[in-house]
Structure 1
Amino acid sequence: MEPWELRRAVEAGRVTASELGLQTNDAVVIHNSDRVALRLVPCDVLARVAPLRHLADSEFEVEVARHLAGVDAPVAELDPRVDPRVHVRDAFAVSLWTYYEPVGSVIAPADYADAFMRHHAALRQIDLGAPHVTDRVAVALREVNDREHSPELPDSDRQLLSDTLSGLSAAISIDKADDQLLHGEPHPGNLLNTRRGPLFVDLATCCRGPIEFDLAHAPEEVGKHYAGADHDLIHRCRALNWAMFSVWRWRRDDHMPDREHWRMAGLDRVRAALDRCGPG
Protein backbone atom coordinates (compact mmCIF):
# COMPACT_ATOMS: atom_id res chain seq x y z
CA MET A 1 0.00 0.00 0.00
CA GLU A 2 1.04 3.58 -0.59
CA PRO A 3 1.90 5.53 2.61
CA TRP A 4 -1.41 7.43 2.68
CA GLU A 5 -3.43 4.22 2.28
CA LEU A 6 -1.25 2.37 4.78
CA ARG A 7 -1.98 4.99 7.44
CA ARG A 8 -5.72 4.55 6.91
CA ALA A 9 -5.41 0.76 6.95
CA VAL A 10 -3.47 0.80 10.23
CA GLU A 11 -6.10 3.04 11.82
CA ALA A 12 -8.91 0.82 10.54
CA GLY A 13 -7.30 -2.25 12.09
CA ARG A 14 -6.57 -0.49 15.38
CA VAL A 15 -10.04 1.01 15.78
CA THR A 16 -11.79 -2.24 14.82
CA ALA A 17 -9.94 -4.19 17.52
CA SER A 18 -10.45 -1.45 20.09
CA GLU A 19 -14.20 -1.28 19.52
CA LEU A 20 -14.39 -5.05 20.00
CA GLY A 21 -12.92 -4.69 23.49
CA LEU A 22 -9.27 -5.50 22.72
CA GLN A 23 -6.72 -3.12 24.25
CA THR A 24 -4.81 -1.57 21.36
CA ASN A 25 -2.22 1.06 22.23
CA ASP A 26 -0.01 0.54 19.20
CA ALA A 27 0.12 -1.17 15.81
CA VAL A 28 3.27 -2.60 14.25
CA VAL A 29 3.31 -3.22 10.48
CA ILE A 30 4.56 -6.77 9.87
CA HIS A 31 3.83 -7.00 6.15
CA ASN A 32 2.70 -4.47 3.55
CA SER A 33 1.64 -5.34 0.02
CA ASP A 34 -1.86 -5.27 -1.51
CA ARG A 35 -3.04 -5.83 2.05
CA VAL A 36 -1.34 -5.25 5.36
CA ALA A 37 -0.67 -7.42 8.42
CA LEU A 38 -0.46 -5.61 11.76
CA ARG A 39 0.55 -6.74 15.22
CA LEU A 40 -1.72 -4.94 17.68
CA VAL A 41 -0.35 -4.51 21.20
CA PRO A 42 -0.77 -5.12 24.08
CA CYS A 43 -3.73 -7.35 23.07
CA ASP A 44 -1.38 -9.34 20.80
CA VAL A 45 -3.69 -9.67 17.82
CA LEU A 46 -2.68 -10.03 14.18
CA ALA A 47 -4.97 -7.82 12.10
CA ARG A 48 -5.18 -8.47 8.37
CA VAL A 49 -6.45 -5.34 6.62
CA ALA A 50 -7.35 -5.21 2.94
CA PRO A 51 -9.06 -2.67 0.67
CA LEU A 52 -12.72 -3.52 0.13
CA ARG A 53 -12.00 -4.76 -3.39
CA HIS A 54 -10.51 -7.79 -1.58
CA LEU A 55 -13.54 -8.28 0.69
CA ALA A 56 -14.52 -11.58 -0.92
CA ASP A 57 -10.98 -12.95 -0.47
CA SER A 58 -10.95 -11.89 3.19
CA GLU A 59 -14.31 -13.54 3.80
CA PHE A 60 -13.17 -16.71 2.05
CA GLU A 61 -10.01 -16.81 4.17
CA VAL A 62 -12.07 -16.58 7.38
CA GLU A 63 -14.38 -19.31 6.08
CA VAL A 64 -11.42 -21.60 5.42
CA ALA A 65 -10.06 -20.96 8.93
CA ARG A 66 -13.44 -21.71 10.50
CA HIS A 67 -13.70 -25.02 8.62
CA LEU A 68 -10.18 -26.02 9.66
CA ALA A 69 -10.59 -25.07 13.32
CA GLY A 70 -11.91 -28.47 14.34
CA VAL A 71 -9.65 -30.82 12.36
CA ASP A 72 -6.25 -30.13 13.92
CA ALA A 73 -4.81 -28.38 10.88
CA PRO A 74 -1.37 -26.74 11.27
CA VAL A 75 -2.71 -23.27 10.46
CA ALA A 76 -2.93 -19.90 12.17
CA GLU A 77 -6.24 -19.49 13.99
CA LEU A 78 -8.70 -16.63 14.25
CA ASP A 79 -8.60 -14.71 17.53
CA PRO A 80 -10.99 -16.54 19.89
CA ARG A 81 -11.97 -13.35 21.77
CA VAL A 82 -14.04 -11.91 18.92
CA ASP A 83 -16.59 -13.17 16.41
CA PRO A 84 -14.92 -15.12 13.58
CA ARG A 85 -15.88 -12.80 10.74
CA VAL A 86 -14.66 -9.93 8.59
CA HIS A 87 -15.32 -6.41 9.85
CA VAL A 88 -15.70 -3.47 7.46
CA ARG A 89 -14.34 -0.04 8.44
CA ASP A 90 -13.41 3.00 6.36
CA ALA A 91 -13.34 1.09 3.04
CA PHE A 92 -11.22 -1.73 4.51
CA ALA A 93 -11.94 -5.36 5.34
CA VAL A 94 -10.44 -6.32 8.71
CA SER A 95 -10.02 -9.82 10.13
CA LEU A 96 -8.46 -10.55 13.53
CA TRP A 97 -6.14 -13.52 14.12
CA THR A 98 -4.07 -15.04 16.88
CA TYR A 99 -0.56 -13.60 16.89
CA TYR A 100 2.23 -16.19 17.03
CA GLU A 101 5.68 -15.17 18.18
CA PRO A 102 8.07 -16.49 15.49
CA VAL A 103 10.88 -18.86 16.40
CA GLY A 104 14.15 -17.96 14.74
CA SER A 105 15.28 -21.38 13.50
CA VAL A 106 14.81 -22.39 9.85
CA ILE A 107 12.16 -25.07 9.22
CA ALA A 108 13.89 -28.29 8.18
CA PRO A 109 12.67 -29.90 4.93
CA ALA A 110 11.36 -32.97 6.78
CA ASP A 111 9.37 -30.76 9.17
CA TYR A 112 8.06 -28.70 6.25
CA ALA A 113 6.90 -31.91 4.52
CA ASP A 114 5.29 -33.15 7.75
CA ALA A 115 3.34 -29.88 8.03
CA PHE A 116 2.21 -30.36 4.42
CA MET A 117 1.02 -33.92 5.05
CA ARG A 118 -0.92 -32.92 8.18
CA HIS A 119 -2.42 -29.90 6.43
CA HIS A 120 -3.47 -31.91 3.38
CA ALA A 121 -4.98 -34.58 5.64
CA ALA A 122 -6.97 -31.88 7.47
CA LEU A 123 -8.15 -30.35 4.19
CA ARG A 124 -9.47 -33.75 3.09
CA GLN A 125 -11.76 -33.74 6.14
CA ILE A 126 -13.66 -30.55 5.31
CA ASP A 127 -16.30 -29.75 2.71
CA LEU A 128 -15.56 -26.39 1.16
CA GLY A 129 -16.21 -24.97 -2.27
CA ALA A 130 -12.99 -23.67 -3.81
CA PRO A 131 -11.75 -22.88 -7.33
CA HIS A 132 -9.53 -25.32 -9.16
CA VAL A 133 -5.89 -24.49 -9.84
CA THR A 134 -6.73 -24.24 -13.53
CA ASP A 135 -9.27 -21.49 -12.78
CA ARG A 136 -6.45 -19.40 -11.32
CA VAL A 137 -4.30 -20.17 -14.36
CA ALA A 138 -7.14 -19.01 -16.63
CA VAL A 139 -7.19 -15.64 -14.85
CA ALA A 140 -3.43 -15.27 -15.34
CA LEU A 141 -3.76 -16.27 -18.99
CA ARG A 142 -6.37 -13.57 -19.60
CA GLU A 143 -4.07 -11.04 -17.93
CA VAL A 144 -0.98 -11.88 -19.96
CA ASN A 145 -2.92 -11.89 -23.22
CA ASP A 146 -4.22 -8.38 -22.58
CA ARG A 147 -1.48 -5.97 -23.66
CA GLU A 148 -3.19 -3.02 -21.98
CA HIS A 149 -2.70 -4.68 -18.58
CA SER A 150 1.01 -5.34 -19.15
CA PRO A 151 2.24 -2.88 -21.80
CA GLU A 152 5.93 -3.21 -20.85
CA LEU A 153 6.09 -7.00 -21.25
CA PRO A 154 8.16 -7.87 -24.37
CA ASP A 155 6.28 -9.88 -26.98
CA SER A 156 8.65 -12.86 -26.81
CA ASP A 157 8.24 -13.09 -23.04
CA ARG A 158 4.48 -12.65 -23.33
CA GLN A 159 4.42 -15.63 -25.69
CA LEU A 160 6.60 -17.66 -23.30
CA LEU A 161 4.23 -17.01 -20.38
CA SER A 162 1.10 -17.62 -22.46
CA ASP A 163 2.41 -20.92 -23.85
CA THR A 164 3.60 -22.06 -20.42
CA LEU A 165 0.29 -21.29 -18.73
CA SER A 166 -1.88 -22.89 -21.39
CA GLY A 167 0.31 -25.94 -21.96
CA LEU A 168 0.99 -26.83 -18.33
CA SER A 169 -2.57 -26.11 -17.23
CA ALA A 170 -3.78 -28.62 -19.80
CA ALA A 171 -1.16 -31.14 -18.67
CA ILE A 172 -2.11 -31.09 -14.99
CA SER A 173 -5.85 -31.16 -15.68
CA ILE A 174 -5.76 -34.42 -17.66
CA ASP A 175 -6.30 -36.56 -14.55
CA LYS A 176 -8.16 -34.94 -11.64
CA ALA A 177 -8.86 -38.17 -9.78
CA ASP A 178 -6.38 -37.36 -7.00
CA ASP A 179 -7.19 -33.65 -6.74
CA GLN A 180 -8.06 -32.29 -3.31
CA LEU A 181 -8.24 -29.03 -1.38
CA LEU A 182 -4.87 -27.29 -1.17
CA HIS A 183 -3.36 -24.31 0.59
CA GLY A 184 -2.65 -22.75 -2.79
CA GLU A 185 0.48 -20.67 -2.03
CA PRO A 186 2.39 -22.42 0.78
CA HIS A 187 5.76 -20.82 0.03
CA PRO A 188 8.24 -20.32 2.92
CA GLY A 189 6.85 -16.86 3.61
CA ASN A 190 3.47 -18.44 4.39
CA LEU A 191 4.79 -21.04 6.84
CA LEU A 192 5.59 -19.65 10.28
CA ASN A 193 7.93 -21.40 12.69
CA THR A 194 6.24 -21.02 16.09
CA ARG A 195 6.35 -22.61 19.53
CA ARG A 196 3.38 -24.71 18.36
CA GLY A 197 5.42 -25.90 15.41
CA PRO A 198 5.13 -24.83 11.75
CA LEU A 199 1.82 -23.10 10.96
CA PHE A 200 0.50 -22.09 7.55
CA VAL A 201 -0.91 -18.58 7.11
CA ASP A 202 -2.65 -16.70 4.26
CA LEU A 203 -5.50 -19.13 3.69
CA ALA A 204 -7.29 -17.05 1.04
CA THR A 205 -5.44 -18.93 -1.71
CA CYS A 206 -7.15 -22.26 -0.92
CA CYS A 207 -8.00 -24.12 -4.14
CA ARG A 208 -8.37 -27.63 -5.56
CA GLY A 209 -5.69 -29.52 -7.43
CA PRO A 210 -2.89 -32.08 -7.09
CA ILE A 211 -0.83 -31.96 -3.88
CA GLU A 212 2.21 -31.41 -6.12
CA PHE A 213 0.94 -27.89 -6.84
CA ASP A 214 1.43 -27.07 -3.16
CA LEU A 215 4.78 -28.84 -2.98
CA ALA A 216 6.04 -26.81 -5.93
CA HIS A 217 5.89 -23.66 -3.77
CA ALA A 218 8.32 -25.10 -1.22
CA PRO A 219 12.09 -25.60 -1.46
CA GLU A 220 12.89 -28.56 -3.70
CA GLU A 221 14.23 -30.70 -0.84
CA VAL A 222 10.79 -30.69 0.83
CA GLY A 223 9.16 -32.80 -1.87
CA LYS A 224 11.68 -35.58 -1.28
CA HIS A 225 10.24 -36.06 2.21
CA TYR A 226 6.60 -36.22 1.08
CA ALA A 227 5.62 -39.86 0.58
CA GLY A 228 4.07 -40.64 -2.79
CA ALA A 229 4.72 -37.27 -4.43
CA ASP A 230 5.13 -37.23 -8.23
CA HIS A 231 8.40 -35.35 -8.72
CA ASP A 232 7.90 -34.83 -12.46
CA LEU A 233 4.56 -33.20 -11.70
CA ILE A 234 6.21 -31.01 -9.05
CA HIS A 235 8.60 -29.71 -11.72
CA ARG A 236 5.70 -28.88 -14.04
CA CYS A 237 3.76 -27.18 -11.26
CA ARG A 238 6.84 -25.16 -10.28
CA ALA A 239 7.10 -23.82 -13.83
CA LEU A 240 3.38 -23.03 -13.75
CA ASN A 241 3.73 -21.19 -10.42
CA TRP A 242 6.60 -19.05 -11.67
CA ALA A 243 4.68 -18.25 -14.85
CA MET A 244 1.70 -16.98 -12.80
CA PHE A 245 4.04 -15.07 -10.49
CA SER A 246 5.65 -13.40 -13.51
CA VAL A 247 2.31 -12.41 -15.00
CA TRP A 248 1.38 -10.53 -11.82
CA ARG A 249 4.75 -8.74 -11.69
CA TRP A 250 4.33 -7.40 -15.23
CA ARG A 251 0.88 -5.94 -14.58
CA ARG A 252 0.86 -2.18 -14.87
CA ASP A 253 -0.75 -1.78 -11.43
CA ASP A 254 1.46 -4.26 -9.54
CA HIS A 255 2.97 -2.82 -6.35
CA MET A 256 5.20 -5.62 -5.12
CA PRO A 257 8.39 -4.26 -3.52
CA ASP A 258 11.43 -4.59 -5.83
CA ARG A 259 9.11 -5.30 -8.72
CA GLU A 260 11.69 -4.49 -11.40
CA HIS A 261 14.04 -7.14 -10.05
CA TRP A 262 11.29 -9.77 -9.83
CA ARG A 263 10.05 -9.07 -13.33
CA MET A 264 13.30 -10.37 -14.82
CA ALA A 265 14.06 -12.90 -12.08
CA GLY A 266 10.59 -14.42 -12.48
CA LEU A 267 11.10 -14.98 -16.20
CA ASP A 268 14.49 -16.57 -15.50
CA ARG A 269 12.84 -18.91 -12.97
CA VAL A 270 10.20 -19.89 -15.54
CA ARG A 271 12.87 -20.84 -18.07
CA ALA A 272 14.91 -22.77 -15.50
CA ALA A 273 11.82 -24.66 -14.31
CA LEU A 274 10.83 -25.53 -17.88
CA ASP A 275 14.31 -26.91 -18.49
CA ARG A 276 13.76 -29.25 -15.51
CA CYS A 277 10.53 -30.50 -17.09
CA GLY A 278 12.34 -31.90 -20.12
CA PRO A 279 11.01 -32.27 -23.67
CA GLY A 280 7.27 -31.76 -24.16
Structure 2
Amino acid sequence: MIDFATPEDLARRTSAAVDAAVGAGREFGLTVTDARVLHDLFSVVVHLAPSPVVARIPVVVPSHPGGRQQAELDVTRWLADQGVPVIPPSPLVPRRPVERDGFAMTFWQYVEPDGAEPDYVANAERTAALHAALRGYPGPLSFLSAAEPRFITESLDELRRRPDLIAPDDLDRASREWQVLKPLVCSRAAFEARFPGIDLQPVHGDSPPANIVGSVDGKLFADFELVTLGPVEWDLAGLTPELEAAYDRGAREAGTRPLNPDVLRFVNAVGMLRVIAYLSLVPRLPSVVEYLNPSIDQWRARVAPF
Protein backbone atom coordinates (compact mmCIF):
# COMPACT_ATOMS: atom_id res chain seq x y z
CA MET A 1 0.00 0.00 0.00
CA ILE A 2 1.35 3.42 -1.00
CA ASP A 3 1.71 5.82 1.92
CA PHE A 4 0.31 9.32 1.60
CA ALA A 5 2.80 11.93 0.47
CA THR A 6 3.76 14.34 3.23
CA PRO A 7 3.99 18.12 2.82
CA GLU A 8 7.76 17.67 2.77
CA ASP A 9 7.47 15.10 -0.03
CA LEU A 10 5.30 17.48 -2.07
CA ALA A 11 7.67 20.39 -1.51
CA ARG A 12 10.64 18.31 -2.65
CA ARG A 13 8.74 17.20 -5.77
CA THR A 14 7.81 20.77 -6.65
CA SER A 15 11.36 21.99 -6.06
CA ALA A 16 12.77 19.19 -8.24
CA ALA A 17 10.33 20.04 -11.04
CA VAL A 18 11.25 23.73 -10.89
CA ASP A 19 14.96 22.91 -10.92
CA ALA A 20 14.48 20.65 -13.95
CA ALA A 21 12.57 23.36 -15.84
CA VAL A 22 15.12 26.05 -14.99
CA GLY A 23 17.98 23.79 -16.06
CA ALA A 24 16.31 22.88 -19.33
CA GLY A 25 15.45 26.51 -20.06
CA ARG A 26 19.01 27.64 -19.49
CA GLU A 27 20.30 24.88 -21.74
CA PHE A 28 18.13 26.37 -24.50
CA GLY A 29 19.70 29.79 -23.91
CA LEU A 30 16.95 31.36 -21.81
CA THR A 31 17.82 33.84 -19.10
CA VAL A 32 16.22 32.55 -15.91
CA THR A 33 16.90 34.45 -12.69
CA ASP A 34 13.48 34.65 -11.05
CA ALA A 35 11.55 31.44 -11.67
CA ARG A 36 8.04 31.65 -10.17
CA VAL A 37 5.55 28.83 -9.62
CA LEU A 38 2.18 29.89 -11.08
CA HIS A 39 0.29 26.66 -10.36
CA ASP A 40 1.02 23.43 -8.51
CA LEU A 41 -1.40 20.51 -8.54
CA PHE A 42 -1.26 17.75 -11.14
CA SER A 43 1.35 19.84 -12.93
CA VAL A 44 3.87 22.39 -11.75
CA VAL A 45 3.62 25.50 -13.94
CA VAL A 46 6.64 27.79 -13.77
CA HIS A 47 7.29 31.21 -15.29
CA LEU A 48 10.97 31.18 -16.23
CA ALA A 49 11.27 34.90 -15.57
CA PRO A 50 12.45 37.22 -16.89
CA SER A 51 12.14 35.17 -20.10
CA PRO A 52 8.60 35.23 -21.53
CA VAL A 53 8.37 31.44 -21.23
CA VAL A 54 6.27 29.16 -19.01
CA ALA A 55 7.20 25.53 -18.40
CA ARG A 56 4.51 23.01 -17.57
CA ILE A 57 5.79 19.89 -15.82
CA PRO A 58 3.29 17.09 -15.08
CA VAL A 59 4.08 15.55 -11.70
CA VAL A 60 1.00 13.42 -10.93
CA VAL A 61 -0.44 11.88 -14.06
CA PRO A 62 -1.97 8.48 -14.92
CA SER A 63 0.72 7.64 -17.48
CA HIS A 64 3.83 9.08 -19.13
CA PRO A 65 2.62 12.25 -20.87
CA GLY A 66 5.10 12.37 -23.76
CA GLY A 67 2.81 11.32 -26.63
CA ARG A 68 -0.05 13.54 -25.69
CA GLN A 69 2.30 16.44 -24.96
CA GLN A 70 3.41 16.39 -28.59
CA ALA A 71 -0.21 16.30 -29.75
CA GLU A 72 -0.94 19.32 -27.56
CA LEU A 73 1.98 21.26 -29.01
CA ASP A 74 0.99 20.36 -32.57
CA VAL A 75 -2.67 21.31 -32.12
CA THR A 76 -2.04 24.61 -30.35
CA ARG A 77 0.60 25.65 -32.85
CA TRP A 78 -1.84 24.89 -35.68
CA LEU A 79 -4.65 26.80 -33.97
CA ALA A 80 -2.38 29.79 -33.40
CA ASP A 81 -1.45 29.75 -37.09
CA GLN A 82 -5.16 29.88 -37.93
CA GLY A 83 -5.63 32.95 -35.76
CA VAL A 84 -7.52 31.13 -33.00
CA PRO A 85 -6.96 32.77 -29.59
CA VAL A 86 -4.80 30.22 -27.75
CA ILE A 87 -1.70 30.30 -25.58
CA PRO A 88 0.83 29.03 -28.13
CA PRO A 89 4.03 27.05 -27.63
CA SER A 90 7.01 29.27 -26.98
CA PRO A 91 8.98 30.09 -30.14
CA LEU A 92 12.15 30.42 -28.04
CA VAL A 93 12.61 26.69 -27.36
CA PRO A 94 12.00 23.51 -29.39
CA ARG A 95 8.32 22.75 -29.89
CA ARG A 96 8.57 19.25 -28.49
CA PRO A 97 8.42 17.64 -25.06
CA VAL A 98 11.69 17.91 -23.18
CA GLU A 99 12.83 15.33 -20.65
CA ARG A 100 15.15 16.24 -17.80
CA ASP A 101 15.76 14.70 -14.38
CA GLY A 102 12.83 12.32 -14.78
CA PHE A 103 10.33 15.01 -15.78
CA ALA A 104 8.71 15.53 -19.21
CA MET A 105 7.90 19.19 -19.81
CA THR A 106 6.61 21.58 -22.43
CA PHE A 107 7.26 25.30 -22.89
CA TRP A 108 4.64 27.98 -23.58
CA GLN A 109 4.49 31.66 -24.31
CA TYR A 110 3.98 33.71 -21.14
CA VAL A 111 0.88 35.90 -21.16
CA GLU A 112 0.11 38.63 -18.64
CA PRO A 113 -3.14 37.81 -16.81
CA ASP A 114 -5.86 40.44 -16.70
CA GLY A 115 -6.91 39.58 -13.13
CA ALA A 116 -10.61 39.31 -14.01
CA GLU A 117 -12.84 36.57 -12.62
CA PRO A 118 -13.72 33.88 -15.19
CA ASP A 119 -17.11 34.18 -16.90
CA TYR A 120 -17.96 30.53 -17.39
CA VAL A 121 -21.18 31.24 -19.29
CA ALA A 122 -19.31 33.34 -21.84
CA ASN A 123 -16.54 30.74 -21.92
CA ALA A 124 -18.99 27.95 -22.69
CA GLU A 125 -20.40 30.03 -25.54
CA ARG A 126 -16.86 30.64 -26.89
CA THR A 127 -16.17 26.90 -26.88
CA ALA A 128 -18.44 26.38 -29.89
CA ALA A 129 -16.18 28.65 -31.97
CA LEU A 130 -13.16 26.63 -30.84
CA HIS A 131 -14.87 23.44 -31.98
CA ALA A 132 -15.66 25.01 -35.34
CA ALA A 133 -11.98 25.85 -35.77
CA LEU A 134 -10.77 22.43 -34.60
CA ARG A 135 -12.84 20.68 -37.27
CA GLY A 136 -10.15 21.62 -39.77
CA TYR A 137 -7.18 20.23 -37.81
CA PRO A 138 -5.38 17.84 -40.18
CA GLY A 139 -3.28 15.83 -37.73
CA PRO A 140 -4.01 12.37 -36.30
CA LEU A 141 -5.70 12.02 -32.89
CA SER A 142 -6.86 8.96 -30.99
CA PHE A 143 -10.53 8.33 -30.29
CA LEU A 144 -11.54 9.43 -26.77
CA SER A 145 -8.02 9.10 -25.38
CA ALA A 146 -9.00 11.87 -22.95
CA ALA A 147 -11.26 9.36 -21.19
CA GLU A 148 -8.10 7.47 -20.17
CA PRO A 149 -9.82 4.04 -20.31
CA ARG A 150 -6.75 2.05 -19.34
CA PHE A 151 -6.25 4.29 -16.31
CA ILE A 152 -9.88 3.84 -15.25
CA THR A 153 -9.62 0.05 -15.51
CA GLU A 154 -6.33 -0.14 -13.63
CA SER A 155 -7.45 2.33 -10.98
CA LEU A 156 -10.66 0.49 -10.21
CA ASP A 157 -8.57 -2.66 -9.74
CA GLU A 158 -6.11 -0.81 -7.52
CA LEU A 159 -8.88 0.73 -5.42
CA ARG A 160 -10.01 -2.76 -4.41
CA ARG A 161 -6.92 -2.78 -2.23
CA ARG A 162 -7.65 0.70 -0.84
CA PRO A 163 -10.80 0.65 1.33
CA ASP A 164 -9.40 3.77 2.96
CA LEU A 165 -10.03 5.64 -0.31
CA ILE A 166 -13.45 4.34 -1.38
CA ALA A 167 -16.25 2.29 0.18
CA PRO A 168 -16.72 -1.21 -1.28
CA ASP A 169 -20.33 -0.49 -2.30
CA ASP A 170 -19.25 2.60 -4.23
CA LEU A 171 -16.49 0.67 -5.94
CA ASP A 172 -18.85 -2.16 -6.91
CA ARG A 173 -21.23 0.35 -8.47
CA ALA A 174 -18.42 2.10 -10.35
CA SER A 175 -17.15 -1.23 -11.69
CA ARG A 176 -20.61 -2.21 -12.93
CA GLU A 177 -21.04 1.13 -14.70
CA TRP A 178 -17.59 0.87 -16.28
CA GLN A 179 -18.40 -2.55 -17.75
CA VAL A 180 -21.28 -0.91 -19.63
CA LEU A 181 -19.43 2.24 -20.67
CA LYS A 182 -15.99 0.84 -21.45
CA PRO A 183 -16.87 -0.68 -24.87
CA LEU A 184 -18.21 2.69 -26.07
CA VAL A 185 -15.08 4.49 -24.87
CA CYS A 186 -12.61 2.00 -26.33
CA SER A 187 -14.21 1.44 -29.74
CA ARG A 188 -15.10 4.15 -32.22
CA ALA A 189 -17.24 1.64 -34.09
CA ALA A 190 -19.19 0.79 -30.94
CA PHE A 191 -19.69 4.48 -30.17
CA GLU A 192 -20.92 5.23 -33.69
CA ALA A 193 -23.30 2.28 -33.59
CA ARG A 194 -24.73 3.48 -30.26
CA PHE A 195 -24.94 7.13 -31.35
CA PRO A 196 -25.61 7.12 -35.11
CA GLY A 197 -25.22 10.47 -36.83
CA ILE A 198 -23.05 12.01 -34.09
CA ASP A 199 -19.99 13.43 -35.80
CA LEU A 200 -16.55 13.04 -34.27
CA GLN A 201 -13.90 15.73 -34.48
CA PRO A 202 -10.86 17.09 -32.61
CA VAL A 203 -11.95 18.45 -29.23
CA HIS A 204 -10.06 20.16 -26.41
CA GLY A 205 -10.44 17.19 -24.07
CA ASP A 206 -10.42 18.96 -20.69
CA SER A 207 -13.36 21.33 -20.22
CA PRO A 208 -12.37 24.39 -22.26
CA PRO A 209 -14.84 26.66 -20.41
CA ALA A 210 -12.61 26.13 -17.35
CA ASN A 211 -9.40 26.51 -19.35
CA ILE A 212 -9.71 29.96 -20.85
CA VAL A 213 -7.12 32.40 -19.55
CA GLY A 214 -8.02 36.04 -19.23
CA SER A 215 -5.01 37.99 -20.47
CA VAL A 216 -4.26 41.61 -21.29
CA ASP A 217 -4.45 40.51 -24.93
CA GLY A 218 -7.90 38.92 -24.55
CA LYS A 219 -9.36 35.53 -23.67
CA LEU A 220 -7.10 32.65 -24.66
CA PHE A 221 -7.79 28.90 -24.76
CA ALA A 222 -5.17 26.89 -22.87
CA ASP A 223 -4.25 23.43 -21.58
CA PHE A 224 -4.93 21.15 -24.52
CA GLU A 225 -3.02 18.28 -22.89
CA LEU A 226 -5.99 15.89 -23.29
CA VAL A 227 -6.80 16.88 -26.88
CA THR A 228 -8.62 13.99 -28.52
CA LEU A 229 -10.99 12.86 -31.24
CA GLY A 230 -14.54 12.70 -29.92
CA PRO A 231 -17.99 14.25 -29.84
CA VAL A 232 -18.17 17.93 -28.91
CA GLU A 233 -20.19 16.92 -25.85
CA TRP A 234 -16.99 15.59 -24.27
CA ASP A 235 -15.83 19.18 -23.69
CA LEU A 236 -19.05 20.07 -21.83
CA ALA A 237 -19.12 17.05 -19.51
CA GLY A 238 -20.06 17.75 -15.92
CA LEU A 239 -21.27 21.31 -16.55
CA THR A 240 -24.58 22.90 -15.62
CA PRO A 241 -27.66 23.29 -17.84
CA GLU A 242 -26.92 27.03 -17.95
CA LEU A 243 -23.51 26.38 -19.50
CA GLU A 244 -24.95 23.79 -21.90
CA ALA A 245 -27.47 26.38 -23.08
CA ALA A 246 -24.67 28.92 -23.52
CA TYR A 247 -22.75 26.45 -25.69
CA ASP A 248 -25.83 25.90 -27.85
CA ARG A 249 -26.12 29.67 -28.38
CA GLY A 250 -22.51 29.68 -29.50
CA ALA A 251 -23.13 26.71 -31.79
CA ARG A 252 -25.99 28.52 -33.51
CA GLU A 253 -23.72 31.50 -34.09
CA ALA A 254 -20.90 29.27 -35.36
CA GLY A 255 -23.23 27.29 -37.62
CA THR A 256 -22.53 23.98 -35.85
CA ARG A 257 -24.83 21.49 -34.16
CA PRO A 258 -26.16 21.84 -30.62
CA LEU A 259 -25.39 19.37 -27.87
CA ASN A 260 -27.10 15.98 -28.03
CA PRO A 261 -28.78 15.00 -24.73
CA ASP A 262 -28.05 11.27 -25.11
CA VAL A 263 -24.35 11.87 -25.76
CA LEU A 264 -24.21 14.31 -22.86
CA ARG A 265 -25.54 11.62 -20.54
CA PHE A 266 -22.85 9.27 -21.83
CA VAL A 267 -19.93 11.68 -21.40
CA ASN A 268 -21.20 12.76 -17.99
CA ALA A 269 -21.27 9.13 -16.86
CA VAL A 270 -17.72 8.52 -18.13
CA GLY A 271 -16.55 11.74 -16.52
CA MET A 272 -17.89 10.61 -13.16
CA LEU A 273 -15.95 7.35 -13.40
CA ARG A 274 -12.77 9.28 -14.22
CA VAL A 275 -13.32 11.14 -10.95
CA ILE A 276 -13.64 7.84 -9.09
CA ALA A 277 -10.47 6.58 -10.79
CA TYR A 278 -8.56 9.67 -9.73
CA LEU A 279 -9.00 8.59 -6.11
CA SER A 280 -6.13 6.18 -6.82
CA LEU A 281 -3.85 9.23 -7.14
CA VAL A 282 -4.76 10.67 -3.74
CA PRO A 283 -1.79 9.07 -1.93
CA ARG A 284 0.54 10.95 -4.31
CA LEU A 285 -1.47 14.19 -4.12
CA PRO A 286 -3.56 14.20 -0.91
CA SER A 287 -5.06 17.67 -1.44
CA VAL A 288 -6.85 16.57 -4.60
CA VAL A 289 -9.48 14.72 -2.56
CA GLU A 290 -11.16 18.03 -1.72
CA TYR A 291 -11.74 18.59 -5.45
CA LEU A 292 -13.00 15.04 -6.04
CA ASN A 293 -15.41 14.62 -3.13
CA PRO A 294 -18.14 17.03 -4.31
CA SER A 295 -18.37 15.23 -7.65
CA ILE A 296 -18.39 11.83 -5.94
CA ASP A 297 -21.27 12.99 -3.72
CA GLN A 298 -23.19 14.02 -6.86
CA TRP A 299 -22.46 10.64 -8.43
CA ARG A 300 -23.80 8.79 -5.38
CA ALA A 301 -27.01 10.84 -5.53
CA ARG A 302 -27.83 10.24 -9.18
CA VAL A 303 -29.27 7.23 -10.94
CA ALA A 304 -26.86 5.75 -13.47
CA PRO A 305 -28.08 6.72 -16.99
CA PHE A 306 -26.53 3.65 -18.67
Give the TM-score normalised by structure 2. Answer: 0.78
For the 8 Å contact 1:49–1:93, the answer to whether it is kept is yes
Determine the C-alpha separation between the residues in 1 that align with 2:130 and 2:294. Answer: 30
Matched residue type, 2:75: V
Determine the C-alpha separation between the residues in 2 that align with 1:270 and 1:23. Answer: 48
Residue deviations 1:127-152 (CA, integer Å, cap 9, x gap): 22222227835324412441467522
> Compared with structure 1, are the counterparts of its residues 134 and 114 closer, same or farther at alpha carbon in structure 2 (3 Å cutoff)?
same
Which residue of structure 2 aligns with residue 133 of structure 1? Answer: 144
Which residue of structure 1 aligns with residue 231 of structure 2? Answer: 210
Matched residue type, 1:182: V
Pick aligned residue for 2:48 from 32, 40, 55: 40
Pick aligned residue for 2:206 from 185, 190, 194: 185
What is the CA distance between 1:47 and its match in structure 2? 0.8
Matched ranges for 1:100-139 at <5 A: 100-133=111-144, 136=147, 138-139=149-150
Which residue of structure 2 aligns with residue 163 of structure 1? Answer: 176
Overall identity of the aligned pairs, in %: 25
For the 8 Å contact 1:151–1:252, the answer to whether it is kept is no
Determine the C-alpha separation between the residues in 1 that align with 2:93 and 2:148. Answer: 36
Aligned length in residues: 276
Determine the C-alpha separation between the residues in 1 that align with 2:155 and 2:54. Answer: 34
Pick aligned residue for 2:297 from 259, 262, 268: 268
Moved more, 164-173 or 78-87: 164-173
What is the CA distance between 1:110 and its match in structure 2? 4.6
For the 8 Å contact 1:150–1:252, the answer to whether it is kept is no
Which residue of structure 2 aligns with residue 90 of structure 1? Answer: 101
Give the TM-score normalised by structure 1. Answer: 0.84
Matched residue type, 1:97: W
Residue deviations 1:16-58 (CA, integer Å, cap 9, x gap): 2223232211111112234311012111321112369433333
Helix, strand or coil for the counterpart of 1:42?
A: coil
Which residue of structure 1 aligns with residue 245 of structure 2? Answer: 224
Matched ranges for 1:22-61 at <5 A: 22-50=30-58, 53-61=64-72
Determine the C-alpha separation between the residues in 2 that align with 1:218 and 1:151. Answer: 29
Which residue of structure 1 aligns with residue 264 of structure 2? Answer: 234
Determine the C-alpha separation between the residues in 2 that align with 1:30 and 1:220. Answer: 31
Q: CA RMSD in A?
A: 2.9
Determine the C-alpha separation between the residues in 2 that align with 1:263 and 1:194. Answer: 28
Determine the C-alpha separation between the residues in 2 that align with 1:187 and 1:256. Answer: 25
For the 8 Å contact 1:86–1:95, the answer to whether it is kept is yes
Q: Which has the higher contact order (CA 8 A, sep 6+)?
A: 2
Does 2:303 correspond to 1:244? no
Does 2:109 correspond to 1:79? no
Matched residue type, 2:25: A
Determine the C-alpha separation between the residues in 2 that align with 1:42 and 1:221. Answer: 41
Does 2:85 correspond to 1:62? no
